[in-house]
C-alpha cells in the first residue's frame, strides 16, 4: 500500500497557465538521503523488470498518461519520437539493458515511481532551494542554478523564487541537485495537461515512501 504524504501545489506563471490549461506542479518534502539501495528495493526492481516486455512498450504510447506526455512534448517543441517521454524512456532502457539496473537509492526510487505510475518525479536538494517551486519561462541571459550555460529562448523551467533549477523535462542545475551531503529532498512532478491528479500523487507517494523506508520504525 502506498503511504500518503502531504503534497503542495506550486505556482505557474500566468502566461504558461493561459497557454497550457491544466499545467501544474506538485511537490513534497522528505527527510532522506541517497546512498546504496537496500536489498528489498533491488528485488522490487527485478520484479518490475519481469513485468516489462516488448509488446507492453509498443502499446505504451496509447495509454492515457503516456499519451498526455507525448501531446505536451509536441506542444512545447520536443519530438517525442526523438526525445522519449520519461515513462517510455525508462521502459526502453529496460529492454536495452535487459533489466532495470540498480544505481542508488534515489535513482531507483524515481525509476520505480515512473514505471509503476507512468509519471516522472524530479528530485532537488531542499536545503538549496528558496521558497515555493513553480513553472515559468526562462528570461534572457538566465542559466540553471550552478551552471553558466545560457538557457534556450522560451525554455520552460522549474524554478524556485530566486532562480531556475531545472529544465521542465531535462537537466537539473548542479547547485540544486541531490548529492552525498543532501539531508532533505524535495520531490516534484510537472503535471502536464491530461494526467490525472491521483496519478501525480501516487508517483510522489511511491518515491517518498521508498526514500523514507529506512527511517521508519520496524
pLDDT in tens, 10-21: 999 999 999 999
Instruction: Give yes or no for residue 47 having a pLDDT over 50.
Output: yes
Burial string for 169-189 (b: 16+ CB within 10 Å, else e) reads beebbeebbbeeebebbbbbb
Share above pLDDT 90 across residues of the chain, in percent, rounded to a whole number? 82
Question: Structure pTM?
Answer: 0.93
pLDDT averaged over every residue in the chain: 92
Going from the N-terminus, what domains does the chain have, and what CATH number goes with each? Answer: 8-213 (3.50.40.10)
What's residue 2's pLDDT?
A: 61
What's the pLDDT band for 214 if we cut at 50, 70, 90? Answer: low
By CB atoms closer than 10 A (0-12, 13-18, 19+), residue 162 is: exposed
Tens-digit pLDDT profile for residues 153-169: 889 999 999 999 999 99
Tell me the three cell numbers of residue 195. 494526467
What's residue 217's pLDDT?
A: 44
- Mean pLDDT score, 32-57: 90
Instruction: Give yes or no for residue 218 having a pLDDT over 60.
Output: no
Q: How far apart are CA 70 and CA 75, in angstroms?
A: 9
Instruction: Give yes or no for residue 1 having a pLDDT over 80.
Output: no
Which of 148 and 18 is assigned the larger pLDDT? 18
Please report, for the chain, how many H helices and E strands are present, in that order.
Answer: 7, 8
Q: What is the CA radius of gyration of the chain?
A: 17
Amino acid at each position: 500500500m502506498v503511504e500518503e504524504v502531504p503534497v503542495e501545489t506550486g505556482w505557474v506563471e500566468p502566461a504558461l497557465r493561459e497557454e497550457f490549461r491544466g499545467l501544474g506542479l506538485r511537490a513534497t518534502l522528505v527527510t532522506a538521503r541517497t546512498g546504496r539501495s537496500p536489498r528489498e528495493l533491488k528485488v522490487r526492481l527485478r520484479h518490475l523488470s519481469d513485468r516489462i516486455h516488448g509488446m507492453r512498450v509498443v502499446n505504451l504510447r496509447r495509454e492515457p498518461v503516456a499519451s498526455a506526455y507525448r501531446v505536451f512534448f509536441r506542444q512545447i517543441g520536443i519530438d517525442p519520437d526523438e526525445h522519449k517521454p520519461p515513462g517510455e524512456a525508462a521502459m526502453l532502457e529496460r529492454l536495452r539493458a535487459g533489466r532495470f539496473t540498480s544505481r542508488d537509492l534515489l535513482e531507483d526510487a524515481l525509476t520505480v515511481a515512473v514505471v509503476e505510475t507512468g509519471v516522472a518525479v524530479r528530485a532537488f536538494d531542499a536545503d538549496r532551494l528558496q521558497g515555493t517551486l513553480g513553472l515559468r519561462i526562462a528570461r534572457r541571459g538566465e542559466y540553471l542554478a550552478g551552471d553558466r550555460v545560457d538557457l534556450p529562448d522560451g525554455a520552460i523551467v522549474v524554478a524556485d523564487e530566486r532562480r531556475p533549477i531545472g529544465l521542465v523535462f531535462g537537466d537539473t542545475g548542479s547547485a540544486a541537485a541531490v548529492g552525498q551531503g543532501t539531508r532533505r529532498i524535495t520531490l516534484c512532478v510537472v503535471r502536464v495537461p491530461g494526467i490525472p491528479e491521483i496519478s501525480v500523487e501516487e508517483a510522489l507517494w511511491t518515491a517518498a515512501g521508498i526514500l523514507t523506508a529506512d527511517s521508519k520504525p520496524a
